[in-house]
């Protein structure tokens, strides 16, 4: 019985290591997808070059002086359809149209955080805020 328990522990340890690696890969893929969403095609914005800023500048200036459409562009079409965007005086309010589920919530929250935003928990009026 001790040998079986030892093998089970070994398998559990390996599964834990695989989950850690997959988690890191998932984070990297989210970062890559977010970066790709930010690159605009020449048809949409011919006046802006497709050169990326250094990551440190990109995070702090991503939404500076930008409006609702700029914030919309940060999301995939599927996620964008789940959200309502409102232009407030000093921030862009992003509110879910429906229950997001944990996966969609995590993706949206990650994108909002990358833009310097935050989640405001307020019951039925819970929303995300991205400062202008």
1.10.540, 3.10.350, 3.90.1070, 3.40.1710: CATH of 64-132: 3.90.1070
pLDDT for residue 27 is more than 50: yes
Q: Domains of the chain: which residue ranges?
A: 1-43, 64-132
> Quick one: pLDDT band at residue 132, thresholds 50, 70, 90?
confident
pLDDT for residue 65 is more than 90: no
Instruction: Give residue 96's pLDDT.
Output: 95
pTM score, whole prediction: 0.51
Quick: pLDDT tens for 31-40.
777 777 776 5
Report which of residues 67 and 52 the model is more confident about.
Answer: 67
Segments of 80-124 assigned E as strands? 83-87, 91-96, 118-120
């Amino acid at each position: 019985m001790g040998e079986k328990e030892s093998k089970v522990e070994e398998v559990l340890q390996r599964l834990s290591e695989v989950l850690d690696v997959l988690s890191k890969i998932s984070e990297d893929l989210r970062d890559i997808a977010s970066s790709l969403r930010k690159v605009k095609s020449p048809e949409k914005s011919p006046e802006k070059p497709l050169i990326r800023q250094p990551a440190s500048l990109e995070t702090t200036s991503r939404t500076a002086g930008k409006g609702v459409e700029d914030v919309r562009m940060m999301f995939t079409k599927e996620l964008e359809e789940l959200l309502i965007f409102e232009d407030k005086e000093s921030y862009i309010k992003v509110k879910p149209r429906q229950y997001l589920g944990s996966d969609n919530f995590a993706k949206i929250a990650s994108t909002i955080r990358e833009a310097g935003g935050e989640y405001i928990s307020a019951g039925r009026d819970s929303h995300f805020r991205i400062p202008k």
